[in-house]
Amino acid sequence: MMSDAIQLSRRDCLLPVALLPLRSGACVSLEQIIAPLPQQPETAIASALAAMDPWKRYAFSVERMTASLRPVHETAPRYLLLDGDFVAGIMTLKLGWMFGTYLNLLAVLPAHQGRGIGSAALDWLDATARSKGERNQFVVTSAFNEGGLRLYQHHGFTPIANMPGLISDNETEILLRKQLY
Protein backbone atom coordinates (compact mmCIF):
# COMPACT_ATOMS: atom_id res chain seq x y z
CA MET A 1 0.00 0.00 0.00
CA MET A 2 1.02 3.60 -0.52
CA SER A 3 2.41 5.59 2.39
CA ASP A 4 -0.78 7.69 2.58
CA ALA A 5 -2.92 4.57 3.02
CA ILE A 6 -5.45 4.66 5.83
CA GLN A 7 -5.48 1.48 7.86
CA LEU A 8 -8.43 0.48 9.99
CA SER A 9 -7.31 -2.26 12.34
CA ARG A 10 -10.25 -2.06 14.77
CA ARG A 11 -13.54 -3.01 13.14
CA ASP A 12 -16.02 -3.33 16.00
CA CYS A 13 -17.58 -0.08 14.70
CA LEU A 14 -18.43 -1.74 11.37
CA LEU A 15 -21.01 -4.24 10.17
CA PRO A 16 -19.96 -6.29 7.12
CA VAL A 17 -22.59 -5.96 4.38
CA ALA A 18 -21.17 -7.37 1.13
CA LEU A 19 -18.08 -8.30 -0.82
CA LEU A 20 -18.01 -6.26 -4.03
CA PRO A 21 -16.25 -7.85 -7.01
CA LEU A 22 -13.86 -5.65 -8.98
CA ARG A 23 -12.83 -5.88 -12.65
CA SER A 24 -9.55 -7.52 -11.67
CA GLY A 25 -11.32 -10.38 -9.91
CA ALA A 26 -10.37 -9.00 -6.49
CA CYS A 27 -13.03 -7.81 -4.03
CA VAL A 28 -13.51 -4.93 -1.64
CA SER A 29 -15.63 -5.19 1.47
CA LEU A 30 -18.62 -2.90 1.97
CA GLU A 31 -19.10 -2.32 5.70
CA GLN A 32 -21.69 -0.14 7.40
CA ILE A 33 -20.47 2.30 10.03
CA ILE A 34 -22.59 1.46 13.09
CA ALA A 35 -20.58 3.28 15.78
CA PRO A 36 -18.06 6.12 15.75
CA LEU A 37 -14.77 5.22 14.09
CA PRO A 38 -11.56 5.47 16.11
CA GLN A 39 -10.33 9.07 16.04
CA GLN A 40 -7.11 8.54 14.06
CA PRO A 41 -8.61 6.81 11.02
CA GLU A 42 -11.72 9.01 11.15
CA THR A 43 -9.59 12.15 10.97
CA ALA A 44 -7.38 10.65 8.26
CA ILE A 45 -10.40 9.72 6.10
CA ALA A 46 -12.02 13.14 6.60
CA SER A 47 -8.72 14.87 5.75
CA ALA A 48 -8.35 12.79 2.59
CA LEU A 49 -11.91 13.67 1.52
CA ALA A 50 -11.40 17.38 2.23
CA ALA A 51 -8.29 17.28 0.01
CA MET A 52 -10.25 15.82 -2.94
CA ASP A 53 -12.51 17.58 -5.41
CA PRO A 54 -15.32 18.50 -5.24
CA TRP A 55 -14.94 19.06 -1.49
CA LYS A 56 -11.56 20.78 -1.86
CA ARG A 57 -12.97 23.17 -4.45
CA TYR A 58 -15.84 24.01 -2.10
CA ALA A 59 -13.43 24.41 0.85
CA PHE A 60 -15.26 21.85 2.96
CA SER A 61 -13.47 21.53 6.28
CA VAL A 62 -12.14 18.34 7.83
CA GLU A 63 -14.76 18.81 10.54
CA ARG A 64 -17.55 18.93 7.96
CA MET A 65 -16.24 15.81 6.24
CA THR A 66 -15.93 14.07 9.62
CA ALA A 67 -19.67 14.50 10.11
CA SER A 68 -20.28 12.47 6.94
CA LEU A 69 -18.50 9.52 8.57
CA ARG A 70 -20.61 9.38 11.71
CA PRO A 71 -23.73 7.26 11.91
CA VAL A 72 -26.75 9.52 12.34
CA HIS A 73 -29.93 7.58 11.62
CA GLU A 74 -31.04 4.26 10.16
CA THR A 75 -32.38 6.10 7.09
CA ALA A 76 -28.94 7.61 6.39
CA PRO A 77 -26.46 4.72 6.43
CA ARG A 78 -22.74 5.34 6.00
CA TYR A 79 -20.41 2.71 4.55
CA LEU A 80 -16.69 2.21 4.19
CA LEU A 81 -15.24 0.42 1.19
CA LEU A 82 -12.30 -1.61 2.49
CA ASP A 83 -9.44 -3.30 0.69
CA GLY A 84 -8.33 -5.64 3.43
CA ASP A 85 -7.67 -3.39 6.42
CA PHE A 86 -7.24 -0.31 4.24
CA VAL A 87 -9.92 2.28 3.56
CA ALA A 88 -10.55 2.55 -0.19
CA GLY A 89 -13.62 4.77 -0.10
CA ILE A 90 -16.86 5.87 1.50
CA MET A 91 -20.50 5.84 0.47
CA THR A 92 -23.39 7.54 2.28
CA LEU A 93 -27.07 7.18 1.45
CA LYS A 94 -30.44 8.72 2.23
CA LEU A 95 -33.09 6.01 2.13
CA GLY A 96 -36.73 6.64 1.22
CA TRP A 97 -36.00 9.76 -0.80
CA MET A 98 -38.60 10.29 -3.55
CA PHE A 99 -39.50 6.59 -3.80
CA GLY A 100 -35.91 5.44 -3.78
CA THR A 101 -32.41 6.02 -2.52
CA TYR A 102 -30.39 9.22 -2.72
CA LEU A 103 -26.64 8.64 -3.03
CA ASN A 104 -25.37 11.44 -0.85
CA LEU A 105 -21.65 10.76 -1.17
CA LEU A 106 -19.48 8.31 -3.09
CA ALA A 107 -15.74 8.83 -2.86
CA VAL A 108 -12.89 6.52 -3.75
CA LEU A 109 -9.59 7.63 -2.27
CA PRO A 110 -6.93 8.53 -4.87
CA ALA A 111 -4.69 5.53 -4.14
CA HIS A 112 -7.61 3.23 -4.98
CA GLN A 113 -9.08 4.99 -8.01
CA GLY A 114 -9.22 3.33 -11.43
CA ARG A 115 -9.90 -0.16 -10.09
CA GLY A 116 -13.68 -0.19 -10.50
CA ILE A 117 -14.53 0.39 -6.84
CA GLY A 118 -17.02 3.17 -7.61
CA SER A 119 -18.69 0.98 -10.24
CA ALA A 120 -18.85 -1.97 -7.83
CA ALA A 121 -20.51 0.26 -5.21
CA LEU A 122 -23.06 1.50 -7.76
CA ASP A 123 -23.76 -2.08 -8.90
CA TRP A 124 -24.42 -3.09 -5.28
CA LEU A 125 -26.66 -0.05 -4.77
CA ASP A 126 -28.66 -0.95 -7.89
CA ALA A 127 -29.10 -4.61 -6.91
CA THR A 128 -30.08 -3.68 -3.35
CA ALA A 129 -32.63 -1.10 -4.51
CA ARG A 130 -34.18 -3.50 -7.02
CA SER A 131 -34.45 -6.23 -4.38
CA LYS A 132 -36.45 -3.78 -2.23
CA GLY A 133 -38.71 -2.78 -5.12
CA GLU A 134 -37.50 0.82 -5.22
CA ARG A 135 -38.48 2.86 -8.27
CA ASN A 136 -35.65 5.41 -8.35
CA GLN A 137 -32.12 6.32 -7.41
CA PHE A 138 -30.83 9.86 -7.30
CA VAL A 139 -27.44 11.54 -7.05
CA VAL A 140 -26.16 15.10 -7.36
CA THR A 141 -22.76 15.83 -8.84
CA SER A 142 -20.92 19.03 -9.57
CA ALA A 143 -20.95 20.07 -13.24
CA PHE A 144 -17.15 20.33 -13.13
CA ASN A 145 -16.91 16.70 -11.90
CA GLU A 146 -16.78 15.23 -15.40
CA GLY A 147 -15.47 11.87 -14.20
CA GLY A 148 -18.28 11.49 -11.70
CA LEU A 149 -20.87 12.52 -14.27
CA ARG A 150 -19.52 9.91 -16.74
CA LEU A 151 -19.55 7.21 -14.04
CA TYR A 152 -23.15 7.91 -13.06
CA GLN A 153 -24.34 8.09 -16.68
CA HIS A 154 -22.51 4.83 -17.46
CA HIS A 155 -24.56 3.26 -14.66
CA GLY A 156 -27.88 4.47 -16.06
CA PHE A 157 -28.35 7.81 -14.32
CA THR A 158 -29.84 10.60 -16.45
CA PRO A 159 -29.50 14.33 -15.74
CA ILE A 160 -32.90 15.77 -14.81
CA ALA A 161 -32.07 19.22 -13.44
CA ASN A 162 -29.28 21.77 -13.27
CA MET A 163 -29.09 23.58 -9.97
CA PRO A 164 -26.91 26.70 -10.17
CA GLY A 165 -25.75 28.05 -6.82
CA LEU A 166 -26.78 25.03 -4.75
CA ILE A 167 -23.42 24.80 -2.94
CA SER A 168 -21.52 27.76 -4.35
CA ASP A 169 -22.69 30.86 -6.22
CA ASN A 170 -20.11 30.14 -8.93
CA GLU A 171 -20.92 26.46 -9.55
CA THR A 172 -23.75 24.34 -10.86
CA GLU A 173 -24.81 20.96 -9.49
CA ILE A 174 -26.58 18.36 -11.62
CA LEU A 175 -29.37 16.17 -10.23
CA LEU A 176 -29.41 12.73 -11.87
CA ARG A 177 -32.09 10.06 -11.67
CA LYS A 178 -31.99 6.37 -12.43
CA GLN A 179 -35.39 4.79 -13.04
CA LEU A 180 -35.31 1.20 -11.85
CA TYR A 181 -38.81 0.20 -13.01
* Mean pLDDT confidence for 115-136: 97
pLDDT digit string (tens) for 68-97? 898 889 999 999 999 999 999 999 999 999
43 is a domain residue: yes
Residue-range definition of the domain harbouring residue 95? 14-179
CA pair distance 71, 123, nearest whole angstrom: 23
129 is a domain residue: yes
Looking at residue 1, what is its pLDDT? Answer: 44
5 is a domain residue: no
pLDDT at 3 > cutoff 70: no
CATH number, residue 78: 3.40.630.30
Q: How many domains does the chain have?
A: 1
4 is a domain residue: no
What pTM was estimated for this model as a whole?
A: 0.93
65's CB contacts (< 8 A; 6+ apart) are 45, 46, 47, 49, 50, 55
Using 50, 70 and 90 to split pLDDT, how confident is the model at 28? Answer: very high
Q: How far apart are the first and last CA of the chain?
A: 41
